[in-house]
Structure 1
Amino acid sequence: MNLFFEESGDFKAGAVLSQQGEAYQVEMQSGKRTKVKARDVLLQFSSPDPAQLLVDAKAIADDIDLDFLWEVAGQEEFGFAELGTEYFGHDPKPHEAAGLLLRLHNAPIYFYKKGKGRYKAAPEDSLKAALAGIEKKKQQALVQAQYAEELKAGRLPDSFRPIVMQLLFKPDKNGIEYKALEAACAELQTTPQRLMLATGGIASAKQLHMMRFLQEYFPKGTGFPGIAIPQTPQLPMAQVQAFSIDDVTTTEIDDAFSVTELGDGKIRVGIHIAAPGLGIHRGDAIDAIARQRMSTVYMPGDKITMLPDELVDAFTLAEGRTCPALSLYATLNTSDWTIVSTETRAEAVPIAANLRHNDLDALVTEENLAAGAGEYPYKSDIALLWQWAQVLEQGRMAKRESFGLKPEQNNRVDFNFYVEDDIVSIVRRKRGAPLDKIVAELMIFANSTWGKLMHDHGVPGIYRTQGASGGGWAAKMQVRMLTHAAPHQGLGVDQYAWSTSPLRRYTDLVNQWQILSCVEHGVTAPLAATFKPKDADLFAVVSAFDAAYGAYADFQNNMERFWCLRWLSQENAKHVDAVVLKDEVLRLVDIPLIIRLPGMPQAARGTQVKLDLIRWDEVDLHIEARLIELTSAAAPEVESTETIDGEIATSETEAGAESVSE
């Protein structure tokens, strides 16, 4: 005797060796023996042999017309043997019954299983819907295959164009477009990004990097809603003629300076900061925009501003205008450059000039300042600011050393990027040039002084600190943001609150509100401040700013690396000079491109080498190089070794190097 039975959802046939109660010992065609319970037996037959039965049953099943079988079945539940009699017109033979059962079992949209060998025909509406779904999937499969073929042929299907960003960065993995893209990439052994570049879905590697960033941080685009320019209160007129010092590309001019001779060897230096905080108020529409963005995003040749252009235009310290500003005045005794007094005011400041580094750097040098040589605007004022800046730096360095740190290195090389029509120029400029130092030192002075003002008035602010006690060196020197005053040991100041770039950084706008409260309300400032003591929302601002500012900095670094690689292509660079930063890490001399060279011979920091550039890739920003030779044992210009968590502990870094270059 032979059995046709169901086991683990599959149908099998075998010869009975023995029976014990409700169980059979069955031998399969393979020789394997298995135990079959009586409830799982669907047919008992003597012929044909089990293997032939399965072959014949499959042939029968393939020959059965499902639509006709569904019509024959009716709407009542049935057993397969009953249906077999009606379908075949006679009691079904074993291979016919088995074939019918296989067909029923493998057509779940036509027949619903109700038990062992029992089924019920699907309702007509359900069947039609299921068949329509199958047909739709077939058509989708055909379209998907067509998409894949087009992609492999180097053409981008029209339906892909509006969803390129979604496909690359937030794909619907069940969509036919993504499946086609995935299939094409698998066959071509490439990545979706590279295939999109090859087919024109993305115009360039530059656009790819931009799209990735925008999809993550600006999914709704970089545009602004319409805004009304806020009114500022009536302000007293400052009796100064202020001037700013910025790069030629700077449009958000936050800071300007003035020098007033007071007689008796005294001068009053004014540090004038754009004051959007007089027009923007916590919780209003513009504040919501600024708080969502947290900072202007910088990249070579472009930027995404924190505030709408029309608002920046209303508050930027543009020459020829009288602008609302928060001014810090320091009265100085020029005999020893001691600070006699300081005063903070909200006022309207006439901006006489916007000076540019590109015009003045070659003229305002240490040698010319020492000799009084050269002719340029505000020459005497710049000379006085230069003298004070040096005194401020010396004081910071003394304070820094009192914290147990080594003197700050001033030999760091900086690079400015200029991009026009996708052609990049990268210009070296040494940090610590007089104009840089003037801006940096006066910004540090203002940020430290205003940080103390908030602390003395009991008003919380957003402080940058470095050198907290405890932990190892890296933990100790990590720059952190707090809502109370604490030392910044790297800068050599007792407190440091970013306050001088309110058009570009949300933290500075927040601090400006707090400083204005101190100026207006004095000892009652804690009760009237925009953010009152222990305001939990201030901690939320710190957390959100930290996250956004770090992400924006990473993006800027990636885009600078991209433009460095583009520069190599422009210049057809093959053999280049580099300098060792540490171990296997080098930086090119002409551009700020960092290269890791695993396995290179050990060389001292500062060693200059010559490299053979083998290949580089603007998509993954990778570069391969080979060491040709060591050319010298020392380099005069190398980055400071005091790089803490990505930040160089220098005044320029913390003062906001965007005043030097955007």
Structure 2
Amino acid sequence: MSFNDSNNSIITSSNLKHFDIYQTVDNKQITKTCVTSYKIGLLEECQFYRDLTHLKTYTIDDIDTIEVDDAISIERNEDSLKVWVHISSPSLFIELNDPLDQIARRNAATIYLGEETVTMFPSNIIDELLTIKANKSNFCLSCCVELNIDGSIASSEVYISKICNNYKLTYEDADELIELAPKEEEDLSLLHILLDKRRRWRLNNGSLSIEGIEGRVKLLNNKLSISFYEKTPSRVLIEEAMLLMGHVISLYSIDHNINIPFRCQDSSTIPTLDYNLHYSLRNNLLRKSLCRSYISQIPSIHFSLGLSCYVQCTSPIRRYIDLLTHYQITNKILKKDLISRELMDQLICSFKSNQIQVNEKMKDNKTKWLANYLLINKAEIIQCYFLRWLSYKRSSALVFVINYSFEFVFCIHTNSNINFGDKITLKILNSGEDEEHSKIFVQALMLGT
């Protein structure tokens, strides 16, 4: 890959793509960098990629998704069905320490805010080079998996691939196809059946699932609105496909002695859950019982996923730690040098530090818009489940708001003794601003069961 930013000239060639990238700091343009991709012809001509453009391939995303980075296919043979998972791989066009890599490393992840999405890579690069486009050839990192009847892995392979995305679907479109399963379009229904077997295998191996509905507040056309998300068949299908990819890539890395940032979670004792409890209460008890997951170059179990090893690798356009794994896997396939263990440790530490800032920004933004939405609807009586006191002295408590299906921290004025799982009726009194986010003061009107 070549770079020339001394005179803003564009390096052109019949088999090179170029993109203008504007790097900004504090919203001020500081430099213009001309970036050229790998020779696309090199991938086209080399022996290291597998042409999968003959497979019917699906992308399934929310309607407003910007970074379309994963796709799925099914391959039918006389005596078997194979699941294919494809992930758009920036590592095929970008190298470690390139200007684009440095931008992604600094950003750490795409930031999802109520009012906008701030992408990890520049938006024009995503649109022109990285996102999986409909009815066009796309280079990916793919895994091919044949499952046993019980959902365990019979065989798996990993390739650099070229795919053609035939079907760009929303989750609603996909749910309809899965439910109706028309004979002329039964591939998606078959994928759902196979990946549901895989899900059941993980459950039998101790995986745990967070269930229920989640309310998300967004600012659209200067108006706050709330959308509700639940695990529909197509969302479960995609979630399971991504977990399968993460497991296969981790197995491949272990077999080929590739150091990658494995995602691990130690085992823990899970309390017996009363399924008569509301899902928000069960989820809270479950989360509290789990050990924190962590990143390590030494593979280990991921307890709550029910997997012997796992790596996050399905979002390299929007999460830098995933991109590091793609660098390693594609470099191995292309017979290039791998990132050393020492350098990988440094990159992991850098990611963790930057990710903390990203998470704080998203958390504060989420709190702000949830608070604004509650205040707009302050005339409503709010039904909640009490989860725990964060600070009894300051009357700060975490509750699950039944009306809108999200957790929120209120300052609760009450003379009653409130315990975990109590159903409470709250009325908003007023709000106050502190340095970080809005505080909402409420009065507990009624306790129930």
Decide: shared fold, TM above 0.5.
Answer: yes
Does 2:30 match 1:230? Answer: no
- Alignment CA distance shift 1:519-1:598 (3 Å): farther
Partner of 2:240: 441
* Cross-structure match for 2:97: 283
Contact 2:217 2:370 in 1 (8 A): no
Q: Which residue does 2:409 correspond to in 1? A: 595
SS in 1 for 2:202: helix
**Greater relative CO, 1 or 2 (CA 8 Å, sep 6+):** 2
Matches of 1:608 and 1:225, distance apart in 2: 56
Check 1:578–1:222 CA distance in 2 against 1; reply closer, same or farther (3 A cut): farther
Residue in structure 2 matching 1:627, options 441, 444, 449: 444
Match of 2:143 in 1: 328
Structure ID, larger Rg: 1
Does residue 357 of structure 2 align to residue 551 of structure 1? yes
Letter in 2 for 1:589: I
The residue number in structure 2 matching 1:28 is none
Q: Which residue of 1 aligns with 2:189?
A: 383
Q: Is the 8 A contact 1:574 1:612 kept in 2?
A: yes
Q: Secondary structure at the match of 1:451?
A: helix
Aligned residues: 388
Q: Which amino acid aligns with 1:530?
A: L
Aligned to 2:374, which of 543, 568, 577? 568
Mapping of residues 582-621 of structure 1, within 5 Å: 582=388, 584-591=397-404, 592-596=406-410, 597=412, 601-603=416-418, 605-617=420-432, 620-621=437-438
Q: Aligned ranges for residues 286-325 of structure 1 at < 5 Å? A: 286-313=100-127, 314-325=129-140
CA contact (8 A) 1:245 1:356 kept: yes
Equivalent position of 1:86 in the other structure: none
Taking the TM superposition and a 5 Å limit, the aligned residue runs for 1:643-658 are: none
Matches within 5 A, 1:19-34: none
**Aligned-partner Cα distance in 1 for 2:305–2:32:** 39
1:612 is displaced (CA, Å) by 0.6
The 3 A distance-change label for structure 1 pair 409 and 628 is farther
Confirm or deny: 8 A CA contact 2:413 2:441 kept in the other structure: no
Q: Name the aligned partner's letter for residue 243 of structure 2.
A: I
Aligned match for 1:427, one of 227, 234, 250 = 227
CA separation of 1:417 and 1:260: change in aligned 2, threshold 3 A: farther
Whether the 8 Å contact between 2:85 and 2:142 is mirrored in structure 1 is yes
Residue 250 of structure 2, aligned match among 451, 463, 482: 451
CA distance in 1, matches of 2:172, 2:419: 35
The alignment partner of 2:51 has SS state of coil
Match of 1:531 in 2: 339
Does the C-alpha gap of structure 1 residues 621 and 273 become closer, same or farther in structure 2, counting only changes over 3 Å?
Answer: same
Is 1:462 the equivalent of 2:277? no
1:414 to 190, 209, 214: 214
Shift of 1:575: 1.6
1:242-281 matched pairs, under 5 angstroms: 242-264=57-79, 266-281=80-95
In structure 2, C-alpha distance between the alignment counterparts of 1:464 and 1:395, rounded to whole Å: 20
**Partners of 2:156 and 2:244 in 1: CA distance:** 11
Distance in structure 2 (CA, Å) of the matches to 1:415 and 1:343: 38
The amino acid of 2:71's aligned partner reads: A
Give the aligned partner of residue 333 of structure 2: 519
CA contact (8 A) 1:267 1:331 kept: yes
Displacement after TM superposition at 1:616 (Å)? 2.2
* Cα distance between partner residues in 2 of 1:542 and 1:598: 44
Is 1:392 aligned to 2:392, yes or no?
A: no
- Pick aligned residue for 1:349 from 163, 172, 176: 163
SS across alignment from 2:309: coil
RMSD of equivalent CA atoms: 2.8
Unaligned runs of 5+ in 1: 1-217, 401-406, 522-527, 634-662
Structure-1 separation of matches of 2:35 and 2:298? 34
Could you tell me whether the CA contact under 8 Å between 2:141 and 2:158 is conserved in 1?
yes
**Residue type of the partner of 1:448?**
H
Which whole-Å deviations, capped at 9, do the CAs of 1:251-295 have from their partners, x for residues lacking one?
11110001122133x211110000111110112221121122121
SS at match of 2:237: helix
2:221, 2:98 → 1: CA distance?
38
Using the alignment, how far apart are the partners of 1:547 and 1:318 within structure 2?
A: 33
Pick one of 288, 291, 296 that aligns with 1:482: 296
Moved segments of 4+, more than 6 Å = 473-476
Unaligned runs of 5+ in 2: 1-23, 269-286, 390-396
- Kindly provide the amino acid, as one letter, of the partner of residue 250 in structure 2: G
Paired letter, 2:235: D
Task: Describe the SS at the equivalent of 1:485.
Answer: coil
**Deviation of the 1:445 alpha carbon:** 1.1
**Shift of residue 607, structure 1, vs aligned partner:** 3.6
Shift of 1:383: 1.9
Secondary structure of the corresponding residue to residue 263 of structure 1: coil
- Give the superposition deviation at 1:538: 1.0
Partner secondary structure for residue 517 of structure 1: helix
| Residue identity in the other structure for 1:443 | M
Shift of 1:467: 0.8
Quickly say closer, same or farther: Cα 1:457–1:353, change in 2 above 3 A: same
